[in-house]
Amino acid sequence: MKKSYALFLILATIAACSSGFTIPDPVPGGTKPGTNTQNGGNENGGGENGGDENQTPARGFILEADGKDADTYSLITEKGFGYETPDNSGAHAEAPFRHIRQSYDETLKKHVFDFYLHIENDDDRGLANITDRQRNEIKTDAHSPDSLVAQYGETLTMRWKFKLPAGMKTTTKFSHIHQLKGIDNKAGTADVSLPAITFTCRSMSNGKQQMQVLYTASNVEADGGSTYLARPDLADFLGEWVSVTETVKFADDGTYSVKIVRMRDGKVLANVENAKLDMWRKDCTGMRPKWGLYRNFGEKRSNASQLRDEILKFADFDIEKLK
């Protein structure tokens, strides 16, 4: 990350230890260079035509549950999203379990998406070499329409709703529910292993739980780690529908804003306004969002006893591009 951003990071930077980050944990097992290469696109991420005050919106495909549960995956892909689910992991190999489903929600008075994760069985994309984490996510990616992926200088506004289950279990490791990440290039050489923005649910050493909104610099070794942009109490989220509006200019001189509101009473749980951040990843071909539950349960499930099966609910994914 450029030196010009160092003053901002002084506000809340968490230093990295010699063996990597401990707080916040930067997900070294996420999308790795070379594993998410794509079939086209400018290696340097497109033209620099963003930041204009006269920007015009380009509406992406709004992904809403439609009540046709058996066709949930088809709905997701038809709207330009992809998914990574542990449907055939462990015991599911003999009896596959669909990990993204739909149900009717009495609060919202509409169908919503249910994201399942089973602590004793589910894995991370069936990769035998990853034994400390599991995931169930949807995302946009290199195969998504242009309206769902940001090129250099473009601004995306992303809106969605989510509900964490009452009594949700967490550890001092990560339980990510949202990330903004880069898309790798054909050669697999882009700086896309770590997310730029992460929403993670985490237990603290005093036993309290937090919802952490984290920013990770593109050059973590030089700049020292990640920054807490917000970290409200997780208790304010559990069992409650919240709405999120996130607006990001994806560029070296980017900006980041997010507002999270509890729908029951309108309480603002987190609010970040126009933080000046490096929101691009070197040599990536685009920046994109991810949602779901991606959590660490310790090497060879050493912390699994601290966690449980969870069902996270999401609704009304909306991406709007400002060019």
* Structural domain for 112, as ranges: 3-322
Q: What percent of the residues of the chain are helix, what percent strand, and what percent coil, each to the nearest 5?
A: 10, 40, 50
Q: Please report, in tens digits, the pLDDT of each residue of the chain (323 residues total).
A: 444 444 344 334 333 333 232 223 333 323 322 223 222 332 223 333 333 344 555 665 699 999 999 999 999 999 999 999 999 999 999 999 999 999 999 999 999 999 999 999 999 999 999 999 999 999 999 999 999 999 999 999 999 999 999 999 999 999 999 999 999 999 999 999 999 999 999 999 999 999 999 999 887 665 557 899 999 999 999 999 999 999 999 999 999 999 999 999 999 999 999 999 999 999 999 999 999 999 999 998 999 999 999 999 999 999 999 86
CA-based nearest residue to 247, from 26, 51, 79, 112: 51
Say if residues 277 and 257 touch (Cβ distance below 8 Å): no
Q: What pLDDT, in 10s, does the model give residues 87-96? A: 999 999 999 9
Phi, psi at 99, each rounded to 5°? -90, -10
Q: What pLDDT, in 10s, does the model give residues 175-192? A: 999 999 999 999 999 999
* DSSP letter assigned to residue 279: -
Q: Residue 137 is part of a domain; what is its CATH number?
A: 2.60.120.200
DSSP run (H or E) holding 6:
helix 6-10
96 preceded by a cis bond (ω within 30 of 0): no
pTM of this structure: 0.82
Tokens of 175: 């339980």
Q: Taking the CB of residue 34, how many other CB atoms lie within 10 A of it?
A: 13
Our count of domains for the chain comes to 1
